[in-house]
Amino acid sequence: MSKRNIILVGFMGTGKTVTGGVLARRTGMKLVDMDSIIEERRGKTIPEIFAQEGEPAFRILERELVNELSARSGLIVSTGGGIVLNPDNIADFEKSGLVVCLTASPDVIFQRVEKDTNRPLLSGDKRAQISALLEKRHPLYVAIVHGINTDNLTDEQTADRILEMYALESRG
């Protein structure tokens, strides 16, 4: 029997990629970072894709990759923060594995991404942009069954909680 995937969704700076690394190390499952795959395939950074092709084009690339990854098994998938904008993405991922939404407060997110220049949706006042995007996406994030607030957790602790959920779900 093949292993079900673990799919990490949530806003930027909530710990998807670093927690995914911990999970991959602990489970032996392969970590795939959706943004990295898209960058590699396009030969451009995410900010370049947004600037040259626009967000709608990026979302199409993202959707195609969701279709591809949800057909595979045994993966830890770190998604981009906007994956929730298309409900089909979450529905497809839920068929292939455990979807966990990582959350964090706006202040913690700001601290984590303040110096990151690879965030095309955070131009100008980052704190204001984070608050506005979070407010807009909040209903989409809270609609996901499994959620973990990472504000006061280490990456290891977050991984512990995800593995507990995964074990419970596997027993069904």
Helix (H, G, I), strand (E, B) or coil at 67: helix
> What crossing angle do the helices spanning 126-142 and 106-113 adopt, rounded to 10°?
120
Report the C-alpha gap between 60 and 47 in whole angstroms. 15
Task: Tell whether the torsion through CA atoms of 157, 158, 163 and 169 is positive or negative.
Answer: positive
Please count the structural domains in the chain: 1
CATH number at residue 61: 3.40.50.300
* pLDDT mean values, one per 10 residues, the chain (172 residues): 87 93 97 96 92 93 97 96 93 96 93 70 75 91 95 96 91 66
For 125, the domain range is 5-171
